[in-house]
Structure 1
Amino acid sequence: MRILHLPKWYPHRYDDQDGDFVARHVAAIAAGGGPAGEPLRMAVVFAAVARGPLPQLIDEEIDLNGPVPTWRYYYRAHLTGLGPLDRLLKLFLWLRCMGRGLRAVRRHWRGRRPDLVHAHIMLRPAVLAWWLRRRHGIPYLITEHWTLFLSLNDRRRGWLRGWLAGQLVRRADAFTPVSQDLRAALARLGGVGKRTVVIPNVVDTNLFHLPTMPVPRRGLLNVAAFNEQAKNLSGLLRTVARLRAAYPLLGGQLRVAGYGPAEKQVRQLAAELGLLADGTVTFLGKLTPAEVAAEMRRAACFVLFSNYENLPCVLIEAQASGLPAVATRVNGVPELLPDDGTRGLLVPPGDEAALAKAVVRVLENPAQFDSAALRRHAEAHFSIGAVGQQFRTLYKEVLLGTENIAR
């Protein structure tokens, strides 16, 4: 079985964590081989705008040493200096990169085409997958993560992109949104697929695990991109300032890991609130996955005060680490934190008083959460083995269905 992966986002030379949730899906699929023990051959073709100077229009990186052969292409960001023309030319360069990649994969597979194309995140990869189906009869599958398709982003997304997304999902042989909420969002846009299966994000449960030594957990942890519109880090900082004043002995110090465009703004607010001078808040910067895992084994509570989300990998990682969470009741988050409070607490988005109350409740009574049960739930639903098997089973169903139609 030959599977071609076409991701919109994927780790690359400029940011090794960009689209890492897609790379985790690919790795999970590769980890178990094909159905009935048959070989599973996969390849990734990815193209993106260069974030630095290039000696020529297109640069290529080929990695054949890992478990999944990968072709990465980078093309110039600035071509003529004329915005509309550059956008058109960059689309042409993306298509040229992808064409080169498809030919390279076919040579690597000794002239064989893929049996299935797996597009990760619309629109461009899914359009290319649809074209390959029209041209060569290759079935395609779409996995979607993007919050752009949520209703609150209707204006930013625009009618045309929403309509096209719905059409691509309808024509796909299978559709795998990572949450029920995202499934409903695409259905609202007309994206009701032939086979729709919610397959969640994945966590490496070997990396994210319970503490090996019985040491007291202390403080709060947040891991997120510095994107104020989505993550509302300013609201979290104001809440921590309130906790510091009301509960000085509670151990409510906050450690923040991440990076992004709003980092300067967030750090400035923390300084203005006096949270840096006394060590109440510590900014950790960009951490490796292993460093994030270590932080999760030390913290007493994970906090995510987002205005909107999809199915946050960090909440899954927290569960694998036996770490309860306080998060906002938005989009796919309640699918991870049920109302029974066994895995954490939900608060309304933007409600800083409710956030403070929930954090105090977690910190004052940590024994209310069963770390081992959190861990077992993560292993059963989000581990590499569990998620990879769901994809491999779906691949088999798609290919068998295609053969039946052909007959």
Structure 2
Amino acid sequence: MKIDYVITGMDTGGAETQVVSLLLELKRRGHDVRLISLTPPVDLTLPLINHAIPVISLEMTTKLSLPLAAIKLVKCIKAHSPDIVHGHMFHANILIRLIRPFIGNTPLICTAHSVREGGRLRDCAYRLTNHFSDMNTVVSNAARSRFVNDKVFPENKTLTVYNCVDTEHFTPLERDKNKKFRWVAVGRLVDVKNHSILLKAMEELPDSELLIIGEGNQRESLQNYIDSHGLTERVTLCGKKDDVVYDYQHADGFVLTSDYEGFALVVAEAMACGLPVVSTRCGGPSEIMGDDESIGKQIPTNNVRELADAMLTVEQTKYEIRVINGKKARTRIINLFSIHKIVTTWEDLYQALQKKRSYK
């Protein structure tokens, strides 16, 4: 199949990382794939370029350049004549819907990567353009419930397709059990990730250390808190990294404190590396972790006391038990969220939409 992926941008994030993984696997399976980015691409596209996957930028830098981007996109898609156009993230989803009358009968899929992709105006934009989309997909049942219950997407055209993990890349590595317990957190330094309660919890966990990987507008305030509360020796803001597998492999536990998440790919990656997880009940992570408390601890959002208690429980678990539980966590990811399983799901959906369109 010829498949065009259209995405808002390629800055580092779960959605962008997921798109790269999907395109690489689709290419490996023999599909003719391209990536079209509304905004200028960044280094995250290098793996695609290295595997001869075309990366095209519409060079959209402001909202005023949207009409020109739309014209470029129409020309780009008509020249390629893809079998499927698959949008990712709000702006790309809306744009491919708006150009639908100009690109013929090509099936359109729109994927929302979060429980919320903005405020009421964005929800309204989705509602007004739903008739242009053949199928909407979301990355967790929690996200599907939100979009359907709020009548943002129609129930009969909305499916859950989970994000995937390359379980051959994200693998466990034996850690020295005599070293200080190391937590790792991965995510943008923004309000919704709520790293501030993680720093407060670390004040109550003097025998462990924490690496926070990510960048964002909260960096300065988080660093100020670290410096002013005696955490400098145990908590490190590591900045943005394109590949965090090394950090998972050299950690003892993973922690996520978000207020809400569509899927939280980082939780699945950490579990694939055999790490115990402490996560807030914020949407997708609950579906990734399941009900087995030996895999990890789930706590309410924005609760420092329960966060610190859950982290301490994990720290005090014997190393040998953590290894056994880590194997169970990895097995769950392989069975439910492996890249091989999820890409096959996408292939089946693409083929079904093609057949449906051919009968119209």
Shorter-chain TM-score tier: 0.7 to 0.9
> Given the alignment, which residue of 187, 194, 197 partners 1:224?
187
Greater Rg by CA: 1
| 2:204 alignment partner in structure 1 | 242
> Given the alignment, which residue of 19, 22, 25 partners 2:19?
22
Q: Does the C-alpha gap of structure 1 residues 390 and 17 become closer, same or farther in structure 2, counting only changes over 3 Å?
A: closer
Aligned residues: 349
Describe how 1:8-407 pairs up with structure 2 within 5 A.
Answer: 8-11=8-11, 19-33=16-30, 40-48=31-39, 66-77=51-62, 87=63, 90=64, 93-104=65-76, 106-107=78-79, 109=80, 113-122=81-90, 124-135=91-102, 136-149=104-117, 157-158=119-120, 160-169=121-130, 171-190=132-151, 191-211=153-173, 213=174, 215-216=176-177, 218-227=181-190, 229-244=191-206, 251-276=207-232, 279-289=233-243, 292-366=244-318, 367=321, 370-404=325-359, 406=360
Superposed displacement of residue 364, structure 1: 0.8
Superposed displacement of residue 284, structure 1: 1.9
Superposed displacement of residue 298, structure 1: 1.7
The letter of the residue matching 1:42 is V
Q: Deviations over 1:322-372 (max 9, x none)?
A: 001001011222111223313200011111111111111111114155222
Q: Does the CA-based 8 Å contact 1:166-1:189 persist in structure 2?
A: no
Relative to structure 2, which stretch is displaced further, 183-192 or 17-26?
A: 17-26
Q: Does the CA-based 8 Å contact 1:173-1:193 persist in structure 2?
A: no
Q: Deviations over 1:52-71 (max 9, x none)?
A: xxxxxxxxx9x866342110
Percent of matched pairs sharing the same residue: 23
Superposed displacement of residue 120, structure 1: 0.9
Q: Deviations over 1:74-124 (max 9, x none)?
A: 2455xxxxxxxxx4xx2xx233234324424544x4xxx2222111122x3
Q: Does the CA-based 8 Å contact 1:200-1:311 persist in structure 2?
A: yes
Q: Distance in 2 between matches of 1:396 and 1:330?
A: 33
CA RMSD of aligned residues (A): 2.6
Q: Does the CA-based 8 Å contact 1:256-1:284 persist in structure 2?
A: yes
Q: Distance in 2 between matches of 1:233 and 1:181?
A: 22
Q: Does the CA-based 8 Å contact 1:132-1:138 persist in structure 2?
A: no
Q: TM-score, normalised by structure 2?
A: 0.88
Relative to structure 2, which stretch is displaced further, 253-262 or 185-194?
A: 185-194
Superposed displacement of residue 42, structure 1: 1.8
Structure 1 residues not aligned, in runs of 5+: 34-39, 52-60, 78-86, 150-155, 245-250
Superposed displacement of residue 320, structure 1: 0.7
The letter of the residue matching 1:95 is P
Q: Distance in 2 between matches of 1:29 and 1:177?
A: 19
Q: Distance in 1 between matches of 2:16 and 2:150?
A: 24
Q: Does the C-alpha gap of structure 1 residues 172 and 101 become closer, same or farther in structure 2, counting only changes over 3 Å?
A: closer
Q: TM-score, normalised by structure 1?
A: 0.78
The letter of the residue matching 1:313 is L
Q: Does the C-alpha gap of structure 1 residues 9 and 343 become closer, same or farther in structure 2, counting only changes over 3 Å?
A: farther
